[in-house]
Structure 1
Amino acid sequence: EVVRVRGLAPRVAYANPRCMRCDKSMKSRGRGQGYGCVRCGAAAAGPVCMDLPRSISCGEYLPRVSAHRHLARPAQRRGRRNGIRFAARLPWHLDYSGE
């Protein structure tokens, strides 16, 4: 019930480039033909790649306490061990014969 995020892939978005002369967004000229400015005619080869921030980071994510199941150890008890010791000679089960 624990999600461990070990690493994050970069989140990128591609957008049309901006014209250096008139600061307008360029339009695509067609597949494989690059981008062009409608106002001044400037050209660019491809789209601009922008890195976007991630909403999560590396670490452990636990559900809220009310969503835990009966077998899950609570977050405040993680890493702790029970001090109860059982005698090895006692059986864990009993066989009842039908006699």
Structure 2
Amino acid sequence: MGDRVRVYGGVRPASSKHGVTVNLEKIDVLEVSEEIFYRNPKCPRCGARMKSAGKGKGFKCPKCGYRSLSLKKTPVKIPRTLKPGTYIPPPRAYRHLMKPPQRIGKEKTKPPTKMIPKWHNP
């Protein structure tokens, strides 16, 4: 489609039963492209959707029989439901090393202020 994404996960090597597998743990959608498809033009006489008469032969109206070589397909933009952002799986799909979403952003930034003397010898 043309979307730009960054994926996080692990790669499972190929074996005799399956090929190389990517186990996704998180997806960052960086950029979402437009989705466009092309529709046949409407007949200028009756308003019905025209049919292709073949490659390089233009369009023909199935209702009134009007033919045209000059009409072109019209582009139609489809609204996307996907938005830029980070997508993570539900907690039931987490692996044992994955950080839960409620702990993301709460990383420790300061060193510990007081060490336990019996456990730590500088």
Task: Confirm or deny a common fold (TM above 0.5).
Answer: yes
1:14 equivalent to 2:38? Answer: yes
SS at match of 2:38: strand
Greater strand content:
2
- The yes-or-no answer on 1:74 pairing with 2:100 is yes
Gaps of 5+ in 1: 90-99
1:51 and 1:60 mapped to 2: Cα distance? Answer: 24
Cα distance in 2 for residues equivalent to 1:67 and 1:88: 41
TM-score after normalising by structure 2: 0.62
5+ residue gaps, structure 2, are 1-24
Structure 1 residue corresponding to 2:66, chosen from 32, 41, 61: 41
Structure 2 residue aligned with 1:61: 87
**What's the TM-score, normalizing by structure 1?**
0.74
Q: CA deviation at 1:81?
A: 1.4
Using the TM superposition, give the Cα deviation of residue 15 of structure 1 relative to its aligned residue in structure 2, in angstroms: 1.5
- 1:2 corresponds to which letter in structure 2? K
76 and 88 in structure 1: CA distance in 2 versus 1, 3 angstrom threshold: farther
CA RMSD of the aligned region, Å?
A: 2.4
Supply the distance in 2 between the matched residues of 1:33 and 1:8 (Cα, whole angstroms). Answer: 35
Is contact 1:22-1:40 (8 Å) kept?
A: no
